Amino acid sequence: MSFNWNGVFPALTTKFTAHDTLDLPMFGTNLDAQVNAGINGVIIGGSLGEASTLELDEKEALVKYAVERIGKKVPVLLNIAEGSTREAIRQAALATKWGAKGLMLLPPMRYRSDHRETVTYFRTVAESTDLPIMVYNNPVDYKIEVTLQMFEELSDLPNIESVKESTRDVSNVTRMINRFGDRYKVLCGVDTIAMEELLMGACGLVGGLVCAFPAETVAVYKLIKAGRVEEALEIHRWFLPMLELDLQPKLVQYIKLAESLTGIGTEHVRAPRLPW
């Protein structure tokens, strides 16, 4: 399945009410703001979306709601971050059933898999689905690096199409392009270095602060791709102090606070998190 990985993909926060239930109306308000700003797809159930606290039926509700509301305009992707291969396969199948058009896939959670196990995990999940997959490479937070050699061993799988590059090493964009050309689409996964990685050849970004500032994030992306770097830099320098919230342990609370201040979210989080 062909998929356009160019552009801005918000890793959406999950909107809750004060009673710890899904706040679908506010979720819809944020979805509309994202689409109106010109984003290129949305990702549900990521770390910023408090995935580890979501029930499966809540993931279903979020995906189906997003597909119904914006699915004809931009693709909806589901993040899979599971401890077992079996559960990852099950959720990949459910994503298709719910109407998702792609997956973001993390290495196994909680268990630190070795090289062979990590490759086998990605291969097994990919072979179970026709959905296009973005591998999430974040060894800083999840302690498993998806190395260049791993990507080499996965390159025969056509639906593993892209990588969310979160190693924090800007030069890894060049390493991926030098090794694989355009075989894998590289998207920056760290807000603070998105501008640098876009300039080095990344085709897009998976953002956090875009949840609160969609127009500004899209503007930076479009200006860079148009070669108007000085204009992009002016926005980026204003934006950087807020982008740094994406690197904090309490990024969920901070970004939700920003969403509440821009009118497209609330501060409600799911315990054990507490509002900032």
Instruction: Say if 239 falls within a structural domain.
Output: yes
Given a cut of 50, whether residue 193 has pLDDT beyond it is: yes
Give the Cα separation of 206 and 18 in Å (integer). Answer: 28
Q: What percent of the chain has pLDDT over 70?
A: 99
Instruction: Say if 268 falls within a structural domain.
Output: no
pLDDT of residue 266: 98
Helix then strand then coil, in percent of the chain rounded to 5, is 50, 15, 35
What's the predicted TM-score (pTM) here? Answer: 0.97
Reported as a single tens digit per residue, the pLDDT across 144-188 is 999 999 999 999 999 999 999 999 999 999 999 999 999 999 999
Given a cut of 60, whether residue 81 has pLDDT beyond it is: yes
CATH number at residue 134: 3.20.20.70
pLDDT of residue 256: 98
Instruction: Say if 275 falls within a structural domain.
Output: no
Mean pLDDT of 73-85: 98
Given a cut of 70, whether residue 243 has pLDDT beyond it is: yes
Instruction: Say if 69 falls within a structural domain.
Output: yes
Give the Cα separation of 110 and 172 in Å (integer). Answer: 25
Reported as a single tens digit per residue, the pLDDT across 51-64 is 999 999 999 999 99
Task: Report whether 266 contacts 26 (CB < 8 A).
Answer: yes
| Residue 126 banded pLDDT, cuts 50, 70, 90 | very high
Instruction: Say if 231 falls within a structural domain.
Output: yes
For residue 228, give its domain range: 7-262
Average pLDDT score over the chain = 97
Given a cut of 70, whether residue 65 has pLDDT beyond it is: yes
Sheet of strand 185-188: strand arrangement = 7-10, 204-207, 185-188, 160-165, 133-137, 102-105, 76-80, 42-44
pLDDT of residue 93: 98
Instruction: Say if 267 falls within a structural domain.
Output: no
Instruction: Say if 179 falls within a structural domain.
Output: yes
Task: Report whether 225 contacts 198 (CB < 8 A).
Answer: yes
pLDDT of residue 1: 43
Number of domains in the chain: 1
Instruction: Say if 143 falls within a structural domain.
Output: yes
Give the Cα separation of 23 and 16 in Å (integer). Answer: 5
